[in-house]
Amino acid sequence: MADTPGATPIQARCVGDTAIIYASDYLNKLSGERIERECKRQLESGRHAVVINFRDTELVNSIGVSILMGVIDAAEQSKARIIFSDVNTHTANLFEMLGLTRHVSVVKDEEEALALTREGN
């Protein structure tokens, strides 16, 4: 588990070159910024792929989505891959509706995400 200094701990782990970050139950401005910060930290430390796992996420609001867009931008600039996993149907529809899925891979679970990162290598 990785901690952002001073923030409520955000769950994250690394599998090889890939960081897996776990989103909280409600993805809004504050929790979105925590994910953004953790992602940037992982990218700066040289990870080539980041998986954001939404297994606990019940609700994502539009500000949360806009912050995820920032995360996607940051990953693109670092030439890293970003994958969303364990997204519930409702949230997946929301990502689709707001055009996020054009910029990110959405997969069923972590295993599939890790497989995808291996393919990329």
Partner 1 sequence: MARTARMPIRAQRNDRHNILMRHPRILANVGRDEFVGRDAELRQLVSYAQRTDPERGLIVLGAPNAGTSEFLRQAYDELFLGRSYSIPVYFAFGKSGSPAETAAEFFQSFLRQYIAYRRVDPTLSTVPLTLHDLAELALPTDYEAVTLLLESFERERAGGDGISFLRFCLNVPRKLGTETKRRFFPLVDCVGLAGAEKEQVAIGREVVRAFLRRDQYVAIGGLRRHLRNLINTAGAPQDNNETINLDQLSDDRSAELLDRLGRRMSVDSNEQTRDLIAQQLNGSPFFITALAQAARDRHTPLTSFLNCQRLYVDELMGGRIGRHFSDLIEHIAPQAQTRRTLLRVLYESGLSETRKASVFAWKKRLGVEASEFDRVIEALHIHELANSSGGSMVELNTGSTAWMDYLRAHYQMEVAGEARALTVASALLETLKRAPQAMARKYRREAALGLNELLARFNCQELPSSLFHYERFAEAHTGVDTDTVNAALDAEADLLRVPQIVHVADCGAFTASARTEEKRCAVGHGFDAADYTDESETVWIAAEIDSKLEASAELTKEWCDRLLHVARECNFNRTHLWLISPEGFTFEASALLRERGAYSSSHQQIELLAARLAPPAEAKPPDTGVEYEMVIPMGADTELISAHTVEQIARRINFRPEAINQIKLALVEACINAAEHSLSPDRKIYQRFRVESDKLVVTVASRGVVPAKVIDQNGGQDGEARSRRGWGLKLIKSLMDEVEFERVDDGTQLRMTKYRK
User: Is the CB of 60 or the CB of 114 nearer to partner 1?
Assistant: 60
Cβ pair 23, 12 in contact under 8 A? no
Residue matched to tokens 């504050």: 30
User: Is the CB of 4 or the CB of 105 nearer to partner 1?
Assistant: 4
Q: Quote the least distance from Cβ 118 to partner 1, whole Å.
A: 27
User: Is the CB of 16 or the CB of 99 nearer to partner 1?
Assistant: 99
Residues near partner 1 (CB under 8 A): 4-8, 26, 28, 30, 33-34, 36-37, 59, 61-63, 65-66, 69-70, 73, 89-90, 94, 97-100, 102-103
Residue matched to tokens 């890293």: 80
Q: How far apart are CA 60 and CA 113, in angstroms?
A: 21
User: Is the CB of 34 or the CB of 48 nearer to partner 1?
Assistant: 34
Tokens standing for 53?
A: 């796992």
Cβ pair 60, 94 in contact under 8 A? yes
Q: How far apart are CA 17 and CA 19, in angstroms?
A: 7
Q: Quote the least distance from Cβ 70 to partner 1, whole Å.
A: 8
